[in-house]
Amino acid sequence: MNKRSFAKVLTATDVGSNGSHQGGPLIPSSVSGVLPQPVIHVSPTAAVDVRVDVSRNGRALGTTEATVVAHSRNLSRNDETHLTGLLPVARPKSGDVMVVTRTGRRHYSVDIVSKSRAKAVKAQLGGRRYGYVS
């Protein structure tokens, strides 16, 4: 099993603190390969349900059902993928880092690393807002 992980520094839009209705963190297409990719047929939206073990700073918070949602913009915008269902459990804040690891078929772990503890993860990102990490 490939234990490839990606990390993303969360924005105010990702966590809903700016009044956005995004529903969950945006997953950049360059790192979305860790998550299952919903197949969009007719509707501009497709979803795949996944099980997620959620932790904060390495401390387990519980397991929840989440959804990987893909939106096609019909060439008007880039396609987007979001991971919904995490916000009520993880309660991330803007500047926190989300680390997502595939642990099984449609089973993932998500660790929300507080901004104050994220120095090591941010060092792996090399100044970028997201990317693959070990």
Going residue by residue through the chain, which has 134 residues, state the pLDDT in tens, using 9 for 90 and above. 346 899 999 999 998 888 776 778 888 777 777 887 776 666 677 788 899 999 999 999 999 998 888 776 664 556 678 888 887 888 899 999 999 999 988 899 999 999 999 999 999 999 999 999 98
d(CA 31, CA 122) in angstroms, rounded, equals 16
Instruction: State the Cα–Cα distance between residues 111 and 99, nearest whole angstrom.
Output: 5
Whole-angstrom distance, CA of residue 90 vs CA of residue 56: 7
CA distance 8 to 77: 21
Q: Where are the domains of the chain?
A: 5-133
The residue type at 67: T
Say yes or no: domain 5-133 is CATH 2.40.330.10. Answer: yes
